[in-house]
Every structure is written in structure tokens, then in C-alpha cells.
Amino acid sequence: MEKLSGAEMLVRALQDEGVEIIFGYPGGAVLHIYDALFQQDKVQHILVRHEQAATHAADGYSRATGKPGVVLVTSGPGATNAVTGIATAYMDSIPMVVLSGQVRSDWIGDDAFQETDMVGICRPIVKHSFSVRKPEDIPEMMKKAFYIATTGRPGPVLVDIPKDQTSPLVKVPYEYPKKVKMRSYSPVARGHSGQIRKAVDEMLKARRPVIYAGGGVILGDGSEYLTKLAKLLNFPVTNTLMGLGAYPGSDSQFLGMLGMHGTYEANMVMHSSDLIVAVGARFDDRVTNHAEKFCPGATVIHVDVDPASISKNVRADVPIVGPVRQVLEEMVSMIEESPDRPDAKALQRWWDEIKGWREYHGLRYEVNDGGPMKPQQVVQALYKATKGDAYVTSDVGQHQMFAAQFYKFDKPRRWINSGGLGTMGFGLPSAIGVQFAFPDAMVACVTGEGSIQMNIQELSTCLQYGLPIKIININNQALGMVRQWQDMQYGGRHSQSYMDSLPDFVRLAESYGHVGIRVDRIEDLDEAMEKAFSLKDRLVFMDIYVDPSEHVYPMHIADGSMRDMWLSKTERT
């Protein structure tokens, strides 16, 4: 059998897993691994400028492709810099394998240079972690790491590697396991047919139904069957922030996003429904508002691959633990075989009611005639310029909500944002990952002047690899979402939410070797967008100045029910 060093085995294991690209940053503890990487060309290594960006880039790559993202960082600060990105992936159930260096085994625990207990630090934010104790264990450990990261409810897995385990002086036989079997880990392969039958019965007798689909539908590749199900039954569909694209955003049965900044109609439909079909969603607090006031008249069907998500925040009447794709497929075939259909008249009345809600609000906002641009207009111009066909990554804040509300995602894996952890600084590095996955695709990063500065150093990475990302910086010269809360709940006291020394982003972009475009007037917006997207091989940083006083509406009124919303600064339900 072939003999390899620990470092060579790690790289070979990546090759054997079919990994084409990893994101990382070298340092002392991982130099053996970097040397092994240098001597092969199957796995491409992307050098970022900060380890947090490596994790977000791997994360974006994974969200866009469905493949696991892979990260390589050194011990100590390299590893701790990756923590935010690992937590981001964990909260959104993104499959990721993080290889972190560690000081040599006999130094662990002695406060060695660049030592940190990464396994300990990451314990609550990884699906699992491994620590290499002898090089012979590496092949099986890597196989398990990828298996755990990508199956069941996916998530990040950490492999911590003391430097001595990768030494080129120690060579051991290498054979990559073909299969992995773990007695303590066996994700559910199928939903219970009896439960699925029960759910179908509930669907067939529903009069005011709604399908509430989350990120799990995208992660579990269930969009096709979700769409079939909705079409077959003529049910309205709402998506969570993480689920956007799971159901076509421009379809007439789509209600838009639900939750804290969901559409009026989506939240009204949820509250008034008699049946909620929750698929791959977890009844997050940003969706339900006050859990005890949540949808009082609804029977809840809950499909999720993670049993711990079911009945966590909202009690499920029909729980189904299983992969969403298989469960949805089985639902569709049961309904197709059944002669029964939901009461068409009742559904029509339901749709009439929904139409009324839609017409009442429909994400309306006031346009300033001759005044400053509205952020919503920027997202709409982006949608127009990209014909709805871009990959859109986002940072966190008002711009994220506007993008979620106004960009209609017709396909899964197009909308890439940090929904669970809400990580500012996610947008640009995740766009890097997406652009590597799809070099010819339009990739736009919708961000704000606050978020972009949290990982702006990655402009350098973009230059190095010639990534033609379009940065849409919705610049309101303030931390917009913080400011909105301060306006609404803190008497307009804008404590630390104002940035009064912004860089000249155009010149900043230029100094990194990119193109910068500043837009101040709505009249110039469409043309500037067209120009940006016509520069196919350049990164364009669009610095777009918008009205700083704009708020995101609708907005749930805290501790209320789904239907308790502010609809504008002066109007509430």
C-alpha cells in the first residue's frame, strides 16, 4: 500500500472526496499541509486576506453548489478568526469541513505559540469535531468529517490537526475508505409513510392552507417537488429568508417572504390559515413573532430532517422526520393517486381574500420625487439589470431585507445570505465563493457601507483571482437597521449608528485595482447598473447613496402575532 505523510493524506483525502477548491490562509502549524498542496494540482487553494473570509467563501461556494465548502487555517488566531464563519455556517446548516492547524501534540495545553483549544471553542458551533491523534487515523477521520457534514441536517465539521501529525518524516499506509458506517450516527433516510398519509389527508381537507418553506428545502434539493405539490393543490406558498428561491419568486402562488419583514399578505395568510405545511423550516423567532400567539387556528404539519427542530418553538400536529425531497415526492405521488382534491370553492374564497391583502400593501413604499433615492429602488434596478438571473449574496441589515423583498428568486441557491447568525461581513467573501463555483455567472453582492467594511480587505482577493463580482453598496451613511430600531423604540436617539468618516469607496475600489461607480441620482441608476454588468471581467463597486431615513416595512410589532405589523412609519395593522 502507498505510504504518505499526514499532510499528504489530508490533501489526498480532499482529492478522493472530489474537492476541487478550498479557501484558506497559511501559517506555522499548517505549513506541512501547504507544502503538500503545492505539490499537486487537483485541489485549488484560494488565498483570502482574512480567515473569516475563507469560511464565508467556502460557505458561499457550498450554498451555490450544494457541495461541501472546505477551509484550511492555521492554529491560534487563524483558527479563531474562522470562528464567526463556522458559526454562520452552523446556524444555516451549511455543509463545511474546516481543517485547522494545531501546535504539536506534546505542546498542547502548555500555552505554546499560536495555541488555542479550537475543538473546545467550536464545540457549540459545529456539528462535530475531530482531533487527529495519529496520522493513521486521518483517512477515516476525513471520510467521517465529510459524511457528517453533508448528511442529515448538514453543518460544519472541524478537524483539528497538530503539526506533528502532518510531518513529512512519518509516512503511513494510505487507503481512503469507500464507505463509512457509524453506529452512533444514522440520519433518517425516509419519512414515515403513515405520517405522510396523515399530512396528505389534512391537506386534502384544508380550506385555508399555506405552505411555509424554509432553507431546508434548498439544502435538501426539494424545490422541484415543493413546486409540484403547490401546483397540484393550488396552495399559496411563502418562503422564509433562507428559503427564498425554493419556490419560484415570480409565480402567482408565491406570497413573498414571511416573518418580521415579510410581506403583509404572507403574514396575514399565515395568521388566518387553517393548515400550515411547514417544510424544512424551523419556526424561527424572526418568523413567528410571539410563539404563543402564532397562528391560532392552524393545524401544523412539520417536515424536517432534524427531529430536534420539530415542536421546538411551535407544536407540530403532524410531525414528519425525514429528508424533505423524499417526503415531498411521496406527498405528490399520494395526491396524484388520490381522487380527492381540496374544496375548490373554499380555496377560491381563500385566494380572493389573499388577493385583497396583496392589493392592500404589496410592499408599497414612497418614492421621493427629486429627493434622495430609496434603497428599494436600487434592488429593483438590480433585478431589472440582471433580469432576475443573478446570484445575489447579501450582508446583514436593511439592504438584506430589501433584497429579500424585492429581488424575485426563481431558482434555489441563488439567494445567499446569513439568515441565522446574521453576520455582517458575509456578503463579499461569500460572493467570492459563488463566483469561483460559477465563473461565468452574474454575481452581485448587495451590501451597505457598514457591512462591506467588515471584510473589505477581500477586494484584494478579488483582484488576485480576477473575480468580476458586482458590489451594490446601498449607502445610507448609517447602520440602517440599528437606526430603524432606534427610531422606533429608542425615541430616535441614534446611539453609535452613524458613520461620519466613510471612505471614498470609488477610489478605494480603484486602489484595489477595480472599477468604482458612484450613483447619487435615481436618473443615473439604471444606466450605471447596465454599465456595471456590461464590464464582464471587472469587479465593479457601485457606491449608491440612498435616503438614510428609510425603514423596512412591513415590520412585526414585537411580542404580537403574525398579523401585528407596522406597514409604514405611521400605519399599523
Partner 1 sequence: MRRIISILMENEPGALSRVVGLFSQRGYNIETLTVAPTEDRTLSRLTLTTFGDDRQIERITKNLNKLIEVVKLVDLTEGPHIERELMLCKVKATGAQRAEVKRTVDIFRGQIVDVTSSVYTVQLAGTSDKLDAFVGTIGDAQVLEVVRTGVSGISRGEKVLSI
Please tell me which residue in 51, 265, 329, 458 is annotated as part of the active site. 51
DSSP alpha helix (H) spans, 151-247: 193-205, 215-219, 223-233
556 forms beta bridges with: 565
Q: Are 410 and 387 in contact (CB under 8 A)?
A: no
Q: Is 342 helix (H, G, I), strand (E, B) or coil?
A: coil
**Least separation, in Å, of the C-beta of 10 and partner 1?**
20
**Least separation, in Å, of the C-beta of 301 and partner 1?**
19
Closer CB to partner 1, residue 293 or residue 312?
312
Q: In what order do the strands lie in the sheet with 443-448?
A: 415-416, 391-394, 443-448, 470-475, 540-545, 515-519
**Least separation, in Å, of the C-beta of 219 and partner 1?**
16
Closer CB to partner 1, residue 155 or residue 375?
155
Q: Are 99 and 60 in contact (CB under 8 A)?
A: no
Q: Any catalytic annotation for residue 376?
A: no
Please tell me which residue in 15, 38, 42, 113 is annotated as part of the active site. 113
Please tell me which residue in 163, 165, 401, 541 is annotated as part of the active site. 163
Q: Any catalytic annotation for residue 51?
A: yes
Q: Any catalytic annotation for residue 377?
A: no
Please tell me which residue in 141, 424, 481, 529 is annotated as part of the active site. 481
Q: How many residues does the chain have?
A: 573
Q: Any catalytic annotation for residue 257?
A: no
Q: Any catalytic annotation for residue 481?
A: yes
Q: Are 399 and 421 in contact (CB under 8 A)?
A: no
Closer CB to partner 1, residue 55 or residue 129?
129
Catalog residues that contact partner 1 under the rule CB under 8 A.
Answer: 119-120, 123-124, 127-129, 131, 148, 182-185, 306-308, 311-312
Residue 251 φ then ψ, to 5° = -75, 150
Closer CB to partner 1, residue 77 or residue 307?
307
185 forms beta bridges with: 182
Q: Is 110 helix (H, G, I), strand (E, B) or coil?
A: coil
Closer CB to partner 1, residue 124 or residue 492?
124
**Least separation, in Å, of the C-beta of 68 and partner 1?**
16
Closer CB to partner 1, residue 313 or residue 464?
313
**Least separation, in Å, of the C-beta of 474 and partner 1?**
36
Closer CB to partner 1, residue 133 or residue 231?
133
Closer CB to partner 1, residue 128 or residue 197?
128
Q: How many CB atoms lie within 10 A of CB 207?
A: 14
In order, the DSSP letters of 457-522 are GGHHHHHHHT---EEEEEE-SB-HHHHHHHHHHSTT--TT-B------HHHHHHHTT-EEEEE-SH
Q: Are 142 and 61 in contact (CB under 8 A)?
A: no
**Least separation, in Å, of the C-beta of 123 and partner 1?**
5
**Least separation, in Å, of the C-beta of 28 and partner 1?**
24
Please tell me which residue in 20, 114, 228, 499 is annotated as part of the active site. 114
**Least separation, in Å, of the C-beta of 93 and partner 1?**
12
**CA–CA gap between residue 358 and residue 312 (Å, rounded):** 31
Q: Are 275 and 206 in contact (CB under 8 A)?
A: yes
User: What string of H, E and C letters represents the secondary structure of 111-139?
Assistant: CCCCCCCHHHHHHHHCCEEEECCCHHHHH
User: What string of H, E and C letters represents the secondary structure of 365-410?
Assistant: CCCCCCCCECHHHHHHHHHHHHCCCCEEEECCCHHHHHHHHHCCCC
Closer CB to partner 1, residue 311 or residue 568?
311
As given in the structure block, the three cell numbers for residue 560 are 404580537
**CA–CA gap between residue 301 and residue 315 (Å, rounded):** 9
**Least separation, in Å, of the C-beta of 308 and partner 1?**
4
Burial tier of 114 (Cβ tally within 10 Å: 0-12, 13-18, 19+): middle
Residues annotated as catalytic (active site), given as ranges: 51, 113-114, 163, 481
